[in-house]
């Protein structure tokens, strides 16, 4: 009887873990092979598909149990495999079972963190169940490591506060950049009150608790968009992300290229090109790490980024008056505008030139800079690098 219970439990863990991979927050996640099969408890199904790696502090890969509390859902979001009425295998874990399974996987060194999301059967009830799971993980099993908890649409203030106290990272999936676009994807969701408001509340609660000296979700909040099927432009997506970065302290937006799923209302739609997703991430990086404003991004007349060139190179091509920049005199923010120079490279240049002037492309290479990319846009000690001269001869 005991063995049968374990089988049921880990079957569900395996299924709900695989189903959770549809959630792109913590997007670096990839299923990871378990290097030592003997690490698995005997007679349980393979749960390795439930494990995703994310990049932790210092670039360290961290294996997470990424899982749904339930894959049952009462909503009917058009893009989603879990939408109500779709025929599929569904499962639900009790809070006790999920917390126990996670604890066992931690003990076997299979995972080093938890990402918990869920379908919705009553927002308040489901959110309570997720909170109960994390309460057990923290207090019954004493887990002090990483927990990412999804906030469900229309979650209550008290639930968001409890989530902020229990988790390290929170997320609310907007799915679309505004109300009008969301209506084409998820007519039962309310953009402003159901999704943006919880993000805003989470931010205020985290700040209040932090100021009161309490343990809070220090890794902040993230969101995810489904890119493509609502007909939104890149400009709409990036303007919304920028607003949320500035106004509600959003840490990160994830852009998920749409891929049609059978037996959903969008099954006949074209998939979104992965290159569009890639360009959105590059542009988003310019907003978060390079000091660009969304109004500066090189959108075309339809509000989309050029696909053939990365957004920073497109910006540089449209601003010849800005170049060439003398690397020994340019400000750090100006250096960040140079293709091939990132935040680390710009900081390294500022540091290096305190000692002596930079003189050659090799000096830039030694600082970890992609010097061949930067060459057409810079002067080094007053001279255009040789690579640039070759371009124009
Ligand atoms: S609420 Fe979430 S799980 Fe349910 S159909 Fe919508 S996206 Fe899918």
| CA–CA distance, 153 with 32 (Å, rounded to integer) | 30
| CA–CA distance, 316 with 11 (Å, rounded to integer) | 53
Which protein residue's CA is at the shortest distance from atom 3 of ligand 1? 119
Q: Which DSSP string do the residues of 70-98 spell out, in sequence order? A: BS--S---TT-TT-TT------B--HHHH
Tell me the per-residue pLDDT of 270-327, one tens digit each, with 9 for 90 and over: 999 999 999 999 999 999 999 999 999 999 999 999 999 999 999 999 999 999 999 9
Spacing, Cα 261 to ligand 1 middle (Å): 13
Going by C-beta distance under 8 Å and a sequence separation of 6 or more, which residues neighbour residue 295?
none
Spacing, Cα 175 to ligand 1 middle (Å): 10
- For residues 233, 236, 239, 244, the Cα torsion angle rounded to the nearest 10 degrees is -130
Spacing, Cα 83 to ligand 1 middle (Å): 6
Comparing CA positions, the residue from 265, 268, 262, 270 lying closest to residue 87 is: 262
| CA–CA distance, 118 with 73 (Å, rounded to integer) | 8
Tell me the per-residue pLDDT of 60-85, one tens digit each, with 9 for 90 and over: 778 899 999 999 999 999 999 999 99
Among 25, 75, 116, 182, which residue has the most ligand 1 atoms within 8 Å of its CB, making it the best to mutate?
Answer: 75
- Check whether 393 has a pLDDT greater than 90: no
In the prediction, which pLDDT does 386 show?
Answer: 79
Tell me the per-residue pLDDT of 85-130, one tens digit each, with 9 for 90 and over: 999 999 999 999 999 999 999 998 989 999 999 999 999 999 999 9
| CA–CA distance, 328 with 351 (Å, rounded to integer) | 11
Locate the ligand 1 atom nearest the alpha carbon of residue 73 and give its number: 4
Spacing, Cα 332 to ligand 1 middle (Å): 44
Spacing, Cα 76 to ligand 1 middle (Å): 7
Q: What is the mean pLDDT of residues 224-249?
A: 97
Q: Give the DSSP letter of residue 138.
A: I
| CA–CA distance, 195 with 192 (Å, rounded to integer) | 6
Task: Give the three-state DSSP class for 1.
Answer: coil
Q: What is the mean pLDDT of residues 23-49?
A: 48
In the prediction, which pLDDT does 224 show?
Answer: 95
Which protein residue's CA is at the shortest distance from atom 2 of ligand 1? 119
| CA–CA distance, 42 with 159 (Å, rounded to integer) | 37
- How many Cα atoms sit within 13 Å of 307 on the Cβ side? 7
Alpha-carbon distances, residue 145 vs 62, 105, 115, 217, 261 (angstroms): 11, 13, 11, 12, 35
* Tokens coding 159: 């639930």
Among 77, 116, 121, which residue has the most ligand 1 atoms within 8 Å of its CB, making it the best to mutate?
Answer: 77
Q: Which phi and psi angles does 68 have, rounded to 5°?
A: -100, 145
Number of H helices, E strands in the chain: 14, 9
Spacing, Cα 78 to ligand 1 middle (Å): 9
Locate the ligand 1 atom nearest the alpha carbon of residue 153 and give its number: 1
Comparing CA positions, the residue from 337, 334, 324, 328 lying closest to residue 391 is: 324
Q: What is the mean pLDDT of residues 158-166?
A: 96
Ligand 1 site residues, Cβ closer than 6 angstroms: 73, 75, 77, 80, 82-83, 119-120, 186
- Check whether 4 has a pLDDT greater than 80: no
* Tokens coding 67: 């899982």
Tell me whether strands 221-227 and 169-171 are parallel, antiparallel or unpaired: parallel
Alpha-carbon distances, residue 314 vs 102, 147, 249, 333, 343 (angstroms): 46, 38, 28, 18, 18
Among 16, 67, 83, which residue has the most ligand 1 atoms within 8 Å of its CB, making it the best to mutate?
Answer: 83
Domains of the chain: 2-219 (3.20.20), 320-391 (1.10.150)
* Confidence grade of residue 58 (pLDDT, cut at 50, 70, 90): low
In the prediction, which pLDDT does 258 show?
Answer: 96
- Check whether 388 has a pLDDT greater than 60: no
């Amino acid at each position: 009887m005991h063995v049968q219970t374990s089988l049921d439990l880990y079957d569900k863990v395996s299924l709900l873990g695989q189903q959770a991979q549809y959630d792109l927050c913590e997007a670096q996640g990839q299923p990871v092979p378990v290097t030592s099969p003997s690490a698995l408890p005997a007679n349980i199904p393979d749960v390795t598909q439930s494990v995703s790696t994310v990049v932790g502090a210092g670039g360290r890969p961290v294996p997470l149990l990424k899982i749904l509390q339930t894959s049952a859902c009462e909503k009917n979001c058009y893009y989603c495999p879990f939408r109500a009425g779709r025929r599929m295998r569904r499962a639900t874990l009790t809070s006790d079972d999920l917390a126990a399974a996670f604890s066992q996987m931690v003990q076997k060194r299979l995972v080093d963190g938890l990402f918990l999301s869920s379908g919705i059967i009553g927002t308040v009830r489901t959110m309570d169940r997720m909170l109960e799971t994390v309460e057990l993980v923290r207090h019954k099993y004493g887990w002090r490591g990483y927990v990412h908890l999804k906030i469900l649409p229309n979650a209550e203030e008290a639930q968001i506060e409890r989530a902020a106290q229990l988790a390290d990272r929170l997320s609310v999936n907007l799915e679309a950049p505004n109300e009008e676009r969301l209506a084409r994807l998820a007519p039962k969701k309310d953009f402003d009150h159901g999704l943006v408001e919880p993000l805003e509340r989470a931010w205020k609660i985290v700040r209040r608790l932090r100021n009161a000296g309490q343990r809070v979700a220090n890794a902040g909040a993230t969101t995810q968009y489904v890119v493509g099927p609502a007909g939104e432009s890149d400009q709409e997506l990036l303007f919304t992300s920028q607003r949320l970065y500035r106004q509600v302290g959003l840490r990160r937006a994830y852009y998920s290229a749409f891929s049609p799923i059978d037996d959903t209302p969008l099954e006949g739609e074209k998939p979104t090109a992965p290159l569009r997703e890639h360009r959105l991430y590059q542009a988003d990086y310019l907003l978060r790490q390079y000091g660009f404003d969304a109004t500066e991004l090189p959108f075309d007349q339809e509000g989309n980024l050029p696909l053939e060139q990365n957004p920073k190179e497109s910006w540089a091509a449209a601003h010849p008056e800005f170049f060439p920049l003398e690397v020994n005199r340019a400000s750090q923010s100006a250096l960040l505008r140079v293709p091939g120079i990132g935040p680390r490279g710009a900081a390294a240049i500022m540091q290096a030139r305190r000692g002596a002037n930079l003189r050659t492309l090799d000096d830039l290479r030694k600082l970890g800079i992609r010097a061949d990319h930067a060459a057409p846009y810079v002067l080094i000690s007053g001279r255009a690098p040789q690579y640039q001269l070759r371009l124009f001869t």
